[in-house]
């Protein structure tokens, strides 16, 4: 658990820095095809947290398999930032990804697959409340991901909790950007693990994130590095 917390602190650090005054402006340095490939490899296909559960899939693409498993069930709880993120991601990827109805009345702890949003529960570095603006983890608010959250076929299957904002004293100090933070955190839940330039490094997100997500969801789970089909969409 201590190792997970230590690594998770690293992955949250750029959000913490943004909350303390880092740049939120869109970058002009948008990667081309080779850079998009490298961003996907860095974030999804190079091992490390949160992909340290299965060595057989660490260097292969890991995404929600819409074609095989169906749309991603979402319990958004009418949180405006959650709905904004879902709409924005579907618009930018050009795909319907989310099932917004099937688990809407399911108790959080009974959700077996999908995303559960929670407002005011974000934790900051080291798993403490201060400066927490957003994080993804197991349902219940953990900073760790649940066991078996993706399978040997590269299918992300959850359940995952997307935590937005903090209601603790000294919590999130970047409240003016909560819509963008929600998009960023759903990006993590869709398969972006480590940050890269334009996704938590420099900006909360920019077109580098959109190009990564767009291409990830136009390839199949378990695609290897050489097999990735990449195009610059943004």
Please give the pLDDT value at position 117: 98
- The DSSP letter of residue 194 is S
Q: Is residue 43 in a domain?
A: yes
Q: Is residue 234 in a domain?
A: no
Q: What is the domain range of residue 39?
A: 2-227
Q: Is residue 232 in a domain?
A: no
Could you state, in chain order, the average pLDDT of each consecutive group of 10 residues for the chain (234 residues)?
Answer: 31 29 51 97 92 85 97 98 98 97 97 97 74 90 90 95 88 83 97 96 96 98 96 96
Please give the pLDDT value at position 129: 64
Q: Is residue 233 in a domain?
A: no
Q: How far apart are CA 218 and CA 119, in angstroms?
A: 31
Please give the pLDDT value at position 131: 66
Q: How far apart are CA 138 and CA 136, in angstroms?
A: 7
- Partners of 76 in beta bridges: none
Q: Which two tokens stand for residue 21?
A: 């005054």
Annotate 166-201 with b (16+ C-beta within 10 A) or e (fewer): bebeebbbbeebbbbbbbbbbbbbbbbbbbbbbbbb
Q: Is residue 157 in a domain?
A: yes
Please give the pLDDT value at position 128: 67
Please give the pLDDT value at position 28: 62
Q: Is residue 171 in a domain?
A: yes
User: What pTM did the predictor assign?
Assistant: 0.87
Question: Total domain count for the chain?
Answer: 1
Q: Is residue 105 in a domain?
A: yes
CA 120, 123, 127: angle at the middle one, nearest 5?
Answer: 155
Q: Is residue 172 in a domain?
A: yes
- The DSSP letter of residue 173 is S
Please give the pLDDT value at position 209: 98
H or E stretch at 211: helix 207-216
**Closest CA relative to residue 94, chosen from 214, 174, 10:** 214
Q: Which two tokens stand for residue 92?
A: 């930018």
Across the chain, the runs of DSSP E, i.e. the strands, are 72-75, 98-99, 115-119, 134-137, 160-164, 196-197, 200-201
Q: Which two tokens stand for residue 182?
A: 């929600």
């Amino acid at each position: 658990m201590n190792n997970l917390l230590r690594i998770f602190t690293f992955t949250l650090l750029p959000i913490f820095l943004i909350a303390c005054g880092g740049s939120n402006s869109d970058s002009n340095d948008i990667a081309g095809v080779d850079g998009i490939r490298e961003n996907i490899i860095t974030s999804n296909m190079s091992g490390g947290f949160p992909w340290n559960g299965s060595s057989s899939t660490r260097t292969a693409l890991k995404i929600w398999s819409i074609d095989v498993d169906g749309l991603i069930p979402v319990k958004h709880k009418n949180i405006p930032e959650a709905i904004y993120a879902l709409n924005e991601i579907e618009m930018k990827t050009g795909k319907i990804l989310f099932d917004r109805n099937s688990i809407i009345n399911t108790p959080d702890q009974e959700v077996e697959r999908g995303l559960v949003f929670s407002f005011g529960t974000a934790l900051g570095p080291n798993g403490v409340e201060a400066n927490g603006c957003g994080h993804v983890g197991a349902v219940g608010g953990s900073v760790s991901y649940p066991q078996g959250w993706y399978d040997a076929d590269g299918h992300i299957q959850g359940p995952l909790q997307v935590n937005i904002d903090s209601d603790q004293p000294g919590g999130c100090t970047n409240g003016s950007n909560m819509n963008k933070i929600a998009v960023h955190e759903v990006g993590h839940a869709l398969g972006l693990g480590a940050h890269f330039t334009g996704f938590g490094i420099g900006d909360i997100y920019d077109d580098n994130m959109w190009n990564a997500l767009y291409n990830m969801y136009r390839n199949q789970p378990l695609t290897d590095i050489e097999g990735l089909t990449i195009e610059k969409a943004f």
